[in-house]
């Protein structure tokens, strides 16, 4: 249990943008995960993903870590931002780009 929490902590701390999702960046296994990856691809920023389907402990651990029941889960600059719907809303309003630029620096190339 503690190992999973440490694994999540480390991933969140070591990556400016971290997405816990079903599947991988190149092969998402659900529509919500695919849509979330697409938003960050559209922004052209670096991000990392972790496949919760490949690790049942991680899948349950991330839900406990955030007290959030659904996947995907997105962290920006070490803070839990939300899932697919929240990310899409922030993207459409322009707020996500502001958050992302603050996290990765204004030098992010489009």
**Domain of 83?**
2-98
d(CA 36, CA 51): 13
pLDDT beneath 50, residues of the chain: 107-110
Report helix angle 84-93 to 95-104, nearest 10. 100
DSSP, residue by residue, 76-106: ETTEEEE-HHHHHHHHHHTHHHHHHHHHH-T
Residue 25 lies in a domain: yes
CATH number for 65: 3.40.30.10
Position 13 scores a pLDDT of 96
Q: How many Cβ atoms are within 10 Å of 43's Cβ, its own excluded? A: 17
Q: What's the pLDDT score for residue 106?
A: 56
Residue 110 within any structural domain of the chain: no
What pLDDT sits at residue 42?
96
In a domain, 33, yes or no: yes
Based on the structure, what is the number of domains in the chain? 1
Give the pLDDT score at 108: 43
Q: 49 in a domain, yes or no?
A: yes
Structure-token match 């697409």, residue found? 38
Task: Determine the pLDDT at residue 109.
Answer: 44
């Amino acid at each position: 249990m503690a190992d999973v929490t440490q694994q999540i902590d480390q991933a969140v701390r070591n990556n400016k943008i971290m997405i816990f999702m079903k599947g991988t960046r190149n092969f998402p296994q659900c529509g919500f995960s695919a849509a979330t990856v697409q938003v960050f691809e559209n922004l052209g920023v670096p991000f990392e993903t972790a496949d919760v389907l490949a690790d049942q402990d991680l899948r349950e651990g991330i839900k406990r870590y955030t007290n959030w029941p659904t996947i995907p889960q997105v962290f920006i600059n070490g803070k839990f931002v939300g899932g697919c719907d929240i990310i899409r809303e922030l993207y459409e309003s322009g707020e996500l780009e502001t958050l992302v630029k603050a996290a990765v620096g204004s030098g992010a190339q489009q």
